[in-house]
Structure 1
């Protein structure tokens, strides 16, 4: 795995921020994040409510990737005397919080290969 899940927090503006850290130079577009619910016994379920596939963007080792649940446009903030690691800001454009319960889970998936077909092209 090229990225590590660091934190998820909710600042005063109410929008959640998921922070990942690059463990080596890597393409974040090969990853997506899913939010899953939990079962009555507290175990993680296989019911996924939200998914975010990161767009292609090279992230250098040590830089942070911030996924914000609100609206916005991608931006990059280089490291400086205040910010020790460069930051890549991505926006999920969802209107409500995703991780609204301490038992919810964050799953980071690496996509090695995939194929896509339009439903209308494969209906028999």
Structure 2
């Protein structure tokens, strides 16, 4: 992180709050404390929306974000958000795999077009 990025985050408490929320989200995901995750994710989305609004309405804020330390800070925020997204995707794949192990891999009976298919060969066998 650029040395001035911390100064920028202090000037704009929203950025500092967003960093804390992303760190909280990462900690919740890593420790499995999912009860906090929904609240943190909602607050994070609110902060991202406020950030977008500030970017479009405040030219000083926009200029600060376009500076080298501002871009560095935003890059770090986006990297953390992407990492959290990757953790969530991995957890979803794990849960889906566990579901299939415990309850079997049940293929849908109907296709998106409303036609039925045979399970073994997945060939269309009629329409609903």
TM-score by length of 1: 0.23
Higher helix share: 2
Higher strand share: 1
TM-score by length of 2: 0.22
Which of 1 and 2 has greater Rg?
2
